[in-house]
Amino acid sequence: MAEEIERKFLVKGDFKPFVTTETRIIQGYLSSAPERTVRVRIKGDRGFLTIKGAGNETGTTRFEWEMEIPVEEAKSLLQICERSMIDKTRYIVPEKSGLKFEVDEFYGDNKGLTVAEIELPSEDHPFEKPEWLGDEVTGDLKYYNAMLVKNPYKYW
């Protein structure tokens, strides 16, 4: 069983000078239930199907399974997803120890929200927090993409 260990933060400063790559992402949910989400994503010109389980007590660790699928199949699956989509640009910002931050800048009903995540090899793995990183929101369900389709940032 694959596990994802990550921490999530709001972004409070200018991270863009440190970006190495950026990719536009459109994603929808076949299921956005908190105990299991099934996501369809088009990332650039590639399609993906992802299943995620509920997080642990701290919200840092959860089951994740992902498989690349043909982009045409992903486009078809997006047609049967729950009502709204996530539209964002993902920026990759290297962290000094070799890890990387994935910074998501949202559009549409979530415009104005920018969130950074860092995947870790263990929950207690140290990493350097750059000055543009804001408050930690790990485990706060309202910042999960599956929740942002139900309660977008513009309504907070």
* Residue 29 among the catalytic residues: yes
Q: Which residues contact 85 (CB under 8 A, 6 or more apart)?
A: 26, 27, 28, 78, 108, 149
**Residue 15 to residue 76: CA distance in whole angstroms:** 34
Burial of 70 (0-12, 13-18, 19+ CB in 10 A): exposed
Sign of the Cα torsion 141, 29, 23, 119 reads positive
Residue 68 near residue 74, CB atoms below 8 Å: no
Residue 46 in tokens? 């590639």
Q: Which of 29, 91, 143, 144 is catalytic?
A: 29
Residues recognised as catalytic:
29
